[in-house]
Structure formats: C-alpha cells, structure tokens
Amino acid sequence: MSDSDPVPGGRPGEVERATALTGELTGRGVHGVVLAYVDTAGIARVKTVPTARLPAVVAWGVGMSPVFDTFLADDSIVTTDVLGSPDGDLRLYPDLDRLTVLAAQPGWAWAPVDRITQEGAPHPGCGRTVLRRTVAGAAERHGIDFRAAVEIEWTVGRADAAGDAFVPAVSGPAYGAARQVELSDCAADLLAALAAEGVEVEQFHPEYAAGQFEVSVGALDPVAAADHSVLVRQTIRAVSRRHGLRVSFAPAVLGQGVGNGGHLHLSAWRDGTNLHAGGTGRYGMTAEAESFVAGILGRLPALTAVTAPSPASRLRLRPSQWAGVFTAWGRETREAALRVVTGTAGIRDRAANLEVKPVDLAANPYLALASVIAAGLDGLASSAPLPEETTGDPARLDPGEAAARGVRRLPVTLAESVEAFRADEVLRRALGPVLADAVTAVRLGEAGAVEGLDDDGVAAAYRWRY
C-alpha cells in the first residue's frame, strides 16, 4: 500500500484493515495516532486523531493547511507563487504499513502521511510522494532499487539550564565509556523503545562533541529509511524527556565546533545484486555505481540547498569537523563529502554503499534522499566519469592540486547553495517546480531571518527548533 498514492475513499481493503487495527490498538491502550510529515524547513509537523477515527482517516484523510510548506524553522511564513497563502486545505493520509505504536509515549501510535488535494491528486509539495516517485522511476527506467539509511546524531542538554542555553547533560569524553555510563538508563530505554518499534539499531555510541550521541540503523528502501529517521527522532526525544533531558538534532548547538550530522548511506541494487560491490571499477564498484557516485559528486554544491538547509547547517559545514565539506570522494575518508564504504571482506556484497556527509537533520529526509538519488541517477544515465580518489584531508591539498582534481569547498552561505540549486535543472525537475520554489524561498527566508547574527546567535536561534 505504501507503494501507491492515497485514494479518496481509501485504497482497496484499507478501511477494513484500519477497522481491525483500531480494535487491536485500542486493546493495547493506544488512544491516539500522531500523523506526521516534514516541512521544507525540516521541521516535523503533526496532527493527531483519536484511534477510533483511523478508518475514517484512511478513507478521507485529515485536513491541514498547505501553508507549512513555506514555514521557516521559527514558524514565520514566506511565500512562493503558489504556496504560503492562508487559503486552501489538504488531506493527510496515514501509511498503515508504517503505523507504529510509540514505545516511549504510552497511549500513542504514529504514522507518516502522504498529502493529497481535496480533489484527490497528490499535493505537489508532498516530499514523501516525490521520494516514492523518484524510487519508482528508477525501478521503471533502470531496473534499480535502493537501500538507504540516515544516521542520527544529537546532543543531550540539561533541562534545567538557564534560558535556552546548552549545558551538556554528560561530561565524559568523546566515544568515552564514562559518557555511556552517564546516559546508561536513558540509553537502555532508548534501545528497548526502538526495538519495540521494529527499528533495527546497528550501533549506539557517544560521539565527538560535548553531550553528543549517535544511533545508526539498518538500511531499508528509501521511503522507509526517511520514515525511520523521523520516527527515531520522535522516540529519542520522548525517551529523553522521560529522563528529564533536553535533546537537539540541530546541525549545531554552539557557534563553534563539531555539529550534528545526518549522513546518508545509499546503495543501488539490480535484481538483488549490489552495484557497489563485485564490479571491475575502483573498490569493487560497477561502472554504474561509479557513475552514480559521480552524478552525486558533480551536484554537491546545489544539493546542499536541500541537504544542509539551515543557517545553522553552515556552522557545521566547516573543514576538519568530519562534515565532508569538499567535493571529493575516497574510500573510508572522513573529510571528503563522499565516503565509499566497501564493508569488511566477507560481507561486501551486502555492506558496500556510499556515505553522503554534507547532510544534517535540518534536512527534510524525503527531499534529501530524492535529490541525492536523482543526482546519482543522472550520473548513471549519462555514464558520468568518476574522477580520481582523494585521500587524507582535502583542506591540506595545495590550491593547484585541488583545482586540478576539481576539489572545491562546498558553498559557505545559503545564498550560494540556492544559486547553484536554482541553476540545476536535474534537481529542480526531481522536486518539481512547486517544491523547488519552496526550497528556494524557505532557504532565502532563513538566511534573512538570521541577518546580523553572529555564529553564537545563529546557533542559539535554531538550537531547540530541531
């Protein structure tokens, strides 16, 4: 069911299925369902319905204004030719395949939604629909499907910190055992909650920055991976709250230092075979995988308008912060934007993938995955050549060598990213004109909103919005 657009009246058999689910959920003490989507600024927005309403909701949806497509992270509103008006309404349709009982919010279940117009057509601002169509197009035109995962990094602050200050709730060192001990009860509850929700956690660890942690999850089809990225954050937030902690997924909580990333992992497959392994290209990539990587590499400056969309993203996107701010690729590199992951001998056919680093959790995960996949597919379709690998820290290359290799720093300002995005027909087409205009308007709106603020001011402005 999640492969198709919602249909007014419900997709065949869906109302019956929702009716059965309602009984089951009520029996489990679930009183309400959270219906969630992510706006252009990367904020998850919700409506909720009582559980008994679920059959009616899969038939006819729930109303919500389209105005959120041009909301900024501070809830102010910008406009485009078609979006941002106080008029109009949309219907939110939950995806029953993804309905999940929330383990850390007793009484609640959660489901991602697709948005359609009152007339029953897909809403052109629906990022989930755009991603689903991008993936379906790859299957149709290239016989390719994808496996994807979004890494989640976040910082844990004290809830009793004065004002909106960030005071790390833990003091142990990066990757340190002490820090794991400090968060022990909360982290164990988090692992239990994610397991109960059917999220496959691969790792949990204390990260580099003060109060920072990371969860990585198993790869899924891209729409499911984006859904999980939203669900995992909802769960981390809820578990942390129960432990009296405040969390931030903002790209940066402070003006200086390492930020929170949301690296994407992506691999292209055909007929069950991973195109990133067992090929005759570099590190086992097939020719198609090399071109897929080249397609993403060539569009990185424009992609950052989607993948690093906040003024706070620019605090994170700095050299020597492992955020991958140079247009380069390499095997297991931490400073190049694209890290080719071969995996360990013995499991390479399953594990090999591409990690895209200049991505953070202010990005709408549906739009980020759709854009990155579209860029890769364009490279694949045009047999784009993958340049030479760059190892080590690209910041240390002398300018001549960097230029010869095409290694450039990614845009420093949102305005530069928007300029590259506006000129990029492939990405604009991938999102469609309505969303492409929304991306441009929202980014420029965010840039305007922080004009005159210094780095600490920018960090403070977004610290608790994500």
Give residues in contact with ligand GLU (CB under 6 A): 153, 207-208, 258-259, 261, 316, 321-323, 334, 357
323 binds, options ligand GLU, Mg ion, none, Cβ within 5 to 8 A by partner type: ligand GLU
Q: Which is nearer to Mg ion, 248 or 286 (CB)?
A: 248
Assess contact for 291 and 386: CB atoms under 8 A. yes
Instruction: Point out the residue whose Cβ comes nearest to Mg ion.
Output: 214
Q: Which is nearer to ligand GLU, 70 or 216 (CB)?
A: 216
To ligand GLU, the closest distance from the beta carbon of 410 in angstroms equals 13
To Mg ion, the closest distance from the beta carbon of 233 in angstroms equals 15
Assess contact for 442 and 43: CB atoms under 8 A. no
Q: Which is nearer to ligand GLU, 263 or 428 (CB)?
A: 263
Sign of the C-alpha dihedral, residues 126, 129, 135, 140?
negative
To ligand GLU, the closest distance from the beta carbon of 81 in angstroms equals 35
Residue 14 is a binding residue for Mg ion (CB under 5 A): no
C-alpha to C-alpha distances, 85 to 71, 73, 113, 130, 159, nearest whole angstrom: 11, 17, 22, 22, 36
Instruction: Pick the closest to residue 83 from 92, 94, 93, 72 (CA basis).
Output: 72
342 binds, options ligand GLU, Mg ion, none, Cβ within 5 to 8 A by partner type: none
Q: Which is nearer to ligand GLU, 14 or 153 (CB)?
A: 153
To ligand GLU, the closest distance from the beta carbon of 339 in angstroms equals 9
To ligand GLU, the closest distance from the beta carbon of 295 in angstroms equals 22
To Mg ion, the closest distance from the beta carbon of 153 in angstroms equals 5
Assess contact for 69 and 41: CB atoms under 8 A. no
Rg value, the chain, Cα? 21
Question: Which two tokens mark 348?
Answer: 């390479």
Residue 335 is a binding residue for Mg ion (CB under 5 A): no
- Measure the CA angle with vertex 231, ends 363 and 359; round to 5°: 20
Residue 182 is a binding residue for Mg ion (CB under 5 A): no
d(CA 33, CA 62): 12
Q: Which is nearer to Mg ion, 124 or 324 (CB)?
A: 324
Q: Which is nearer to Mg ion, 95 or 214 (CB)?
A: 214
Residue 95 is a binding residue for Mg ion (CB under 5 A): no
H or E element at residue 273: strand 273-274
276 binds, options ligand GLU, Mg ion, none, Cβ within 5 to 8 A by partner type: none
Instruction: Point out the residue whose Cβ comes nearest to ligand GLU.
Output: 261
How many Å separate Cα 144 from the centre of its chain? 21
d(CA 164, CA 177): 28
Question: Which two tokens mark 447?
Answer: 């840039």
Q: Which is nearer to ligand GLU, 111 or 337 (CB)?
A: 337
d(CA 52, CA 129): 26
Residue 355 is a binding residue for Mg ion (CB under 5 A): no
Question: Which two tokens mark 278?
Answer: 């067992």
Q: Are strands 100-101 and 90-94 parallel, antiparallel or unpaired?
A: unpaired
To Mg ion, the closest distance from the beta carbon of 248 in angstroms equals 15
Binding mask 200-239 for Mg ion (x = CB under 5 A): --------------x-------------------------
By the criterion CB under 5 A, which residues form the site for Mg ion?
214
